Amino acid sequence: MKIKTKLRLGFGFLFGVVIFFGAISLYAMNAISISSKVILKDNYKSIKFVAKMREILEENSLPLSAKASKIFNTQLLLEERNITEAGEQHATNMLKSAFNQLSDPAVSLNDKQRASQATRQSLRAIDEINMQAIVRKNSLAEYNVEKAATYLVFAASFCFLILFTFSVNFPGFVANPLKEFSEAIKAIGRKNYKQRLEFHGNDEFSELAEEFNAMAFQLNKWESSNLAKLQSEKLRIEAIIAQMQDAIIGLNEKNEILFLNKVAADLINLNEKDVIGANVSELTRKNDLLSKILEVNSSDKLMKIYADEKESYFQLERRQITVNNFDNPSAQNLIPISKTAGEVYILKNVTQYKELDEAKTNFIATVSHELKTPIASIKMSIKLMNDERVGVMNAEQTELVHHIKEDCDRLLKITSELLNLAQVETGNLQLKFMKTDPVKIAVYAMDAVRFQAEQRTIELELISQNTLPMVNVDMEKTAWVLINFLSNALRYSAEKSKVVVQILVNGDQVEFSVRDFGRGIEEQYQKKLFDRYFQVPTDGNNKSGSGLGLAISKDFIEAEGGSIWVQSALGEGSTFAFALPVISNL
């Protein structure tokens, strides 16, 4: 039976109870009304007739006049038509007989007086019979009222019990199944996919229970499938991301926030729950730090952010996520095409390492600065020893002093490089920009190494255009870079060879290059040449430097807005070059 039909039957039953109670009430009220009407209609009329007839006897003397007799006879006739009680007919006959004697002219006065007495007795009898009837009918009416009230109380109690039982039990017909459904849904919410509902019948609840059981079966099947395992892995990865100490921000292909761990939310001052799914273009309008993080080239340098109640340094890593594109599968494409699924930004807190690096740099700068004084003192002593006025040295002593001088020069060069490195790392590098002729830079550098080249009979050649545009650079720092290139070229060049310095214009840049014809550098080492402290392995014939010269040269050139590179091949020599922007005529 359908729920709608059951509800109709239930409300129909309530309607029937109300009709039943109304019928009982109408029946009782009708019984009371009938009893009252009988009393008023019958007995009160007889009493009224008797009172009229008694009034005629009392107001008229014997013999009665014709008018009085007529009125009396009229009332008597009315009484004869209104006889309703037992004994009232006999009393009425006696009254009629006595009235006939009273109204007969032939009857003597004494007989009329006796007839008047009999008439009065009959009237009293009729009056008493009706009064007793009134009392009796009144008692009967009271009994009927009490009976009707009893019926009403019984009917009301019966209806109350029925309605109370209905109101208690009938709501459960709807509420109990709904409660079972609610508990079952809560169990599903707790991932209890084995939950089932049992309803017997053909109503809507049974149909809904069947659909619920089918849903629970599919969910249980899904829970056991690979998709559930993927979901579990997703939750596990999200938990790992949330526990990572690095700030992580993930974007999907629509440039919306896909995930954001607590560290990142605290760092950029955003609510993790509010920004998930939000478009970053809207967020960056209100958050400058997020805008800086999402910049394309923001991962080149360390980012300084106020975190942990101090200025902290973060290294930004930007990684693009690519997945196979199966949106438009084609049988002709044997190799799946990749598409971008989003980007991940990782901010690693390197404050501790930055502080250690600064401490190292300060230590190197301090030590280098302190070493320059004793080295200069040693060089002065060596110079005095070479002076014949102090004394003449033999050949062995002269050679030893020469080696000491070379080592001092090497130490002095290393300390100078360390000081330059300290300036770069601490951000205290000061460049004195000025308009400079590129040829002057090259000549200055070549003059600085010319004595070294002559000792090894190496020819220095300068190739340049006749007119070159001016460059806005620090001449000393730029010449230092070129001197470093020339020193390395002379070190790795054979005697009686040649080193070529070339200057040319390439677009809006001036390119400086130093080429030697030595052994060359293997390709595997070329990418690391400009890293700090990196040294190309040698065969022992050439003294290696500190591994800082090229790294410092790269910092100098990039600080001037230029670029630096190397080209080399084994057996063909090496070419070290850098390019600087020309001064615009505008």
Other Cβ atoms less than 10 A from the Cβ of 410: the count is: 14
Q: What is the pLDDT of residue 345?
A: 81
Give the type of residue at 395: A
pLDDT at 327 over 70: no
Label the pairing between strands 337-349 and 509-516: unpaired
Question: pLDDT-derived band of residue 296, with 50, 70 and 90 as boundaries?
Answer: low
Report residue 433 as tokens: 């920009």
DSSP string, 566-585: EEEETTTEEEEEEEEEBPP-
The H or E element that residue 502 is part of is strand 498-506
Average pLDDT over residues 62-70: 79
Report residue 58 as tokens: 């009392």
pLDDT digits (tens, 9 = 90+) for 20-48: 777 777 777 776 666 665 555 677 888 88
pLDDT at 2 over 50: yes
| Comparison of pLDDT for 369 and 453, the residue scoring more | 453
Report residue 322 as tokens: 């690519």
Q: Contacts from 273-276 at CB under 8 Å and sequence distance 24+?
A: none
98's CB contacts (< 8 A; 6+ apart) are: 115, 116, 118, 119, 121, 122
Mean pLDDT of the chain: 78
DSSP string, 182-228: HHHHHHHHTT-TT------SSSHHHHHHHHHHHHHHHHHHHHTSHHH
Question: pLDDT-derived band of residue 331, with 50, 70 and 90 as boundaries?
Answer: very low
442 neighbors 406 (Cβ within 8 angstroms): no
DSSP string, 509-576: EEEEEEEE-SS---HHHHTTTTSTT------SSS----S-HHHHHHHHHHHTT-EEEEEEETTTEEEE
Give the type of residue at 311: E
Q: Could you tell me which CATH number the domain at 228-325+336-349 has? A: 3.30.450.20
Spelled out in words, what is the top-level CATH class assigned to the domain 432-581? alpha beta
pLDDT digits (tens, 9 = 90+) for 246-271: 778 888 877 788 777 777 777 777 77
Q: How far apart are CA 582 and CA 506, in angstroms?
A: 10
Tell me how long the chain is: 586
Percent of the chain having pLDDT more than 90? Answer: 13
pLDDT at 211 over 70: yes
Report residue 27 as tokens: 């029946």
Domain-wise residue ranges, the chain:
3-171, 228-325+336-349, 355-425, 432-581
Q: What is the pLDDT of residue 215?
A: 86
Average pLDDT over residues 150-156: 79
Cα 72–Cα 73–Cα 75 angle in degrees, nearest 5? 65
Q: How far apart are CA 212 and CA 198, in angstroms?
A: 10
pLDDT digits (tens, 9 = 90+) for 463-489: 998 889 999 998 988 998 999 899 889
Residue of 488, 484, 490 whose CA lies nearest to 536: 488
Topology classification of domain 3-171: f41 fragment of flagellin, N-terminal domain (1.20.1330)
pLDDT at 435 over 80: yes
Question: pLDDT-derived band of residue 586, with 50, 70 and 90 as boundaries?
Answer: very low
| CB-count exposure of residue 473 (10 Å: 0-12, 13-18, 19+) | buried
Average pLDDT over residues 440-448: 92
Q: What is the pLDDT of residue 163?
A: 77
Question: pLDDT-derived band of residue 111, with 50, 70 and 90 as boundaries?
Answer: confident
325's CB contacts (< 8 A; 6+ apart) are: 336, 337, 338, 339
Q: What is the pLDDT of residue 509?
A: 93
| Comparison of pLDDT for 366 and 108, the residue scoring more | 108
pLDDT at 11 over 80: no
Residue in the structure block whose two tokens are 């019948």: 201
Q: What is the pLDDT of residue 470?
A: 92
Report residue 24 as tokens: 């009982």
Range with the largest mean pLDDT of 70-79, 121-130, 566-575: 566-575
Integer CA distances (angstroms), 77 to 53, 73, 74, 528, in order: 11, 6, 5, 150
